Amino acid sequence: MKNPYIAHPAIITNIRQETAETKTYTLEFTKQKRGLVFIPGQFNMISLLGFGEGPFSITSSPLRKEIFEHTIRLVGSLTGQINRLNVGDIVGIRGPYGSGWPVGLAKNKDLLIIAGGVGLAPLRGLIDMAIEQRNGFGEVEIMYGSRKPENLIFTSDYDNWRSAPNIRLFLTVDEVPKGIEWPYGQGVVTNLLKFSKINPANALAFICGPEIMMRFIVRSLLIREFAEKNIFVSMERRMECGMAKCGRCMIGPKYVCTDGPVFSYPEVKALPHNLLAASL
């Protein structure tokens, strides 16, 4: 029987600096012939020998079979070590794990994609997939916010997203530093919803970001008559096994690592602690 804890070596073939603390790593397996087969929104456990292991969303399109990408923000010890890696270095990969965005349900529907900060990472693969399979999905609106302009990730993708038919990108930042020309929104990402032209009756909303942001977004979507079942969020919890074995990630009876990280709003609503309680 195969040991599910064994990590597969993958080589870093490219590194792109997104912000001062965030980089996107392009990876290729060194031994496994088959590429990574995954659904956007799923994650891998990435390990560095001697430094530990952590969950990170897969940020590339699932249609790019030969490589996969992770976008990682430096916050602590493991991510600090990953931040020091160079092209040619090797990391361990276990995965893919978790539920992913409901791509099957999204076919032929309009998509409202809302993210804050590094929360855009698990949604980038879905956006790229919707561009590559433009006839398989309806209109796509991307609403993305960060603290300052220099904290926005994937800026080199924006022209590609904007030039695809029926895809609209809206940006906002909390704060515009003096002397910077900023032609987009200022304020919380919820403010961008007023620009939406999508009909909630034929749309799914996919949200990832800080829980406080997701709570306000859910509330605004419900006011706009999005059905609860058409709202999906990606939840983040500390993880160890990624396989529903250690219990580290549990919220009530649910394992975020296998039941999630993507949950429908009715699923989150049924959890204890009223996590995204959206009282109207």
Residues that bind ligand FAD (CB under 6 A): 43, 54-57, 71-73, 75-80, 118, 121, 236-239, 261
Edge-first strand order for the sheet with 43-48 is 52-57, 43-48, 90-97, 8-17, 22-29, 68-73
Which member of 171, 207, 249, 268 binds ligand FES (CB under 6 A)?
249
What is the closest distance, in whole angstroms, from the C-beta atom of residue 116 to ligand FAD in the complex? Answer: 13
Size of the site for ligand FES (CB under 6 A): 12
Q: Tell me how far apart the alpha carbons of residues 250 and 252 are, in angstroms, rounded to a whole number.
A: 6
Map residue 142 onto helix, strand or coil: strand
Beta-carbon contacts of 184 under 8 Å, excluding residues fewer than 6 positions away, are 170, 171, 172, 173
244 binds ligand FES, rule: CB under 6 A: yes
Q: Tell me how far apart the alpha carbons of residues 259 and 267 are, in angstroms, rounded to a whole number.
A: 10
Instruction: Establish how many alpha carbons lie within 13 A of residue 279's alpha carbon, considering only the half-sphere containing its beta carbon.
Output: 1
Which residue number, 91 or 239, has a Cβ lying nearer to ligand FES? 239
Which member of 148, 168, 248, 269 binds ligand FES (CB under 6 A)?
248
Beta-carbon contacts of 24 under 8 Å, excluding residues fewer than 6 positions away, are 15, 16, 18, 59, 69, 70, 71, 72, 153, 154
Which two structure tokens, joined as six digits, stand for 249? 């990630």
271 binds ligand FES, rule: CB under 6 A: no
Phi/psi at 156 (5° precision): -75, -10
User: Among 25-33, 138-146, 238-246, 271-279, which window interacts with ligand FES (CB under 6 A)?
Assistant: 238-246
247 binds ligand FES, rule: CB under 6 A: yes
Q: What amino acid occupies position 55?
A: P
Which residue number, 46 or 171, has a Cβ lying nearer to ligand FAD? 46
How do beta strands 203-208 and 110-116 pair?
Answer: parallel
Which member of 115, 131, 217, 257 binds ligand FES (CB under 6 A)?
257
Which member of 27, 46, 106, 241 binds ligand FES (CB under 6 A)?
241
**Chain position carrying tokens 């088959």:** 34
246 binds ligand FES, rule: CB under 6 A: yes
CA 271 to chain centre: 21
Q: Is 149 exposed, middle or buried (0-12, 13-18, 19+ CB in 10 A)?
A: middle
Which residue number, 54 or 138, has a Cβ lying nearer to ligand FES? 54
Which residue number, 189 or 239, has a Cβ lying nearer to ligand FES? 239
Q: Tell me how far apart the alpha carbons of residues 25 and 68 are, in angstroms, rounded to a whole number.
A: 8
Which residues, numbered 194-213, are part of the site for ligand FES (CB under 6 A)? none
Question: Of ligand FAD, ligand FES, none, which one sits near residue 54, judging by CB under 5 to 8 A according to partner kind?
Answer: ligand FAD
Question: Of ligand FAD, ligand FES, none, which one sits near residue 79, judging by CB under 5 to 8 A according to partner kind?
Answer: ligand FAD
262 binds ligand FES, rule: CB under 6 A: no
State the residues that interact with ligand FES by CB under 6 A.
239-242, 244-249, 255, 257
